[in-house]
Amino acid sequence: MPKIILAVDDSTSMRQMVSFTLAASGYTVIQAIDGQDGLDKAKAQQMDLVLTDQNMPIMDGLTLIQKLRDLEAYQNTPILMLTTESGEDMKLKGKRAGATGWLIKPFDPKRLVEVVEKLIVNT
């Protein structure tokens, strides 16, 4: 059974690029348009990994990570930030919130798959 990845981003084109890249590597990708949508979908179905942008309406990525980490089902699930935010301060905030890793947009598709495969192999 393929691993399920939740891709949370308010950019339709970014969600499509992530979905295309990961689906080509055999993953099932569920898309969410913002943090609240992502949280709702994560509660409805267990995900094997979550990819989230930071800057989104309704709920940002850091808040989403904190809310997911509060759920027993997501305490050990890998969560990657995929964002344009590259400052050390923001990365530290992400780590404190519970992010497993950080990738900068625009992303290299090969690198995305490598990171996902490394993290998801343990789930």
> Vertex 85, ends 79 and 90: CA angle to 5°?
70
Dist CA 10 CA 3 (whole Å): 23
Tell me the per-residue pLDDT of 31-73, one tens digit each, with 9 for 90 and over: 999 999 999 999 999 999 999 999 999 999 999 999 999 999 9
Q: Compute the average pLDDT of residues 107-115.
A: 93
Q: Record the pTM.
A: 0.94
Tell me the per-residue pLDDT of 74-95, one tens digit each, with 9 for 90 and over: 999 999 999 888 788 888 898 9
The reported pLDDT for the residue numbered 122 is: 54
Domain 4-120 has CATH 3.40.50.2300: yes
Decide the pairing of beta strands 101-104 and 28-32.
Answer: unpaired
Is pLDDT at 123 greater than 60 in this prediction? no
Q: Compute the average pLDDT of residues 96-119.
A: 92
Dist CA 69 CA 13 (whole Å): 27
Asked if 114 and 91 count as a contact pair (C-beta separation under 8 A), the reply is: no
